[in-house]
């Protein structure tokens, strides 16, 4: 189960036009070791229709997802899913918002410098133009 704002996340009206994905924190309850990552609610799939390839947006495996880190995934297999908490930190409206907030959380928490995180690397590529909805108008004095 995922939580958001200290409550179970219930996406009854999850709309692909409104929410693209989220940034999350997975914590090993026993050791306190953590992982910061991002996951998309939707992925593009394709199927053959009358001899042509049609692309469509489908829900991803986000409900059962436990990160891409191999050490974390192995621990989930051996200890079980109940040994971990999964918290949504940011709900995002675009792929770029997900990338931005994931990197922001990773850098602010120093995830690659601290042993308390599973994260091994940070990789991000974000364009300012893709974050227009996040930009606030500030005046420089």
Domain layout of the chain by residue ranges: 2-131
Superfamily name with CATH number, domain 2-131: GIY-YIG endonuclease (3.40.1440.10)
Give me the pLDDT at residue 13, please: 63
Region of residue 125 (phi > 0: left; psi between -120 and 50: alpha; otherwise: beta): beta
The list of the chain residues with pLDDT below 70 reads 13-14, 16, 135-141
Give me the pLDDT at residue 132, please: 77
Give me the pLDDT at residue 140, please: 44
Sign of torsion over alpha carbons 96, 38, 42, 134: negative
d(CA 79, CA 26): 14
């Amino acid at each position: 189960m995922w939580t958001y704002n200290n409550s179970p996340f219930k996406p009854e009206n999850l709309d692909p036009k409104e929410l693209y994905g989220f940034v999350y924190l997975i914590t090993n309850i026993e050791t306190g070791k953590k992982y910061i990552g991002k996951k998309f609610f939707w992925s593009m799939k394709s199927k053959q229709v009358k001899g042509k390839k049609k692309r469509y947006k489908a829900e991803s495996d986000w409900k059962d997802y436990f990160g891409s880190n191999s050490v974390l995934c192995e621990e989930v297999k051996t200890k079980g899913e109940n040994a971990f908490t999964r918290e949504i930190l940011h709900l995002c409206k675009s792929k770029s918002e997900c990338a931005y907030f994931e990197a922001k959380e990773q850098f602010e928490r120093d995830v690659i410098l601290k042993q308390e995180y599973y994260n091994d690397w940070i990789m991000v590529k974000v364009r300012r133009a893709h974050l227009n909805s996040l930009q606030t108008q500030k005046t420089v004095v």
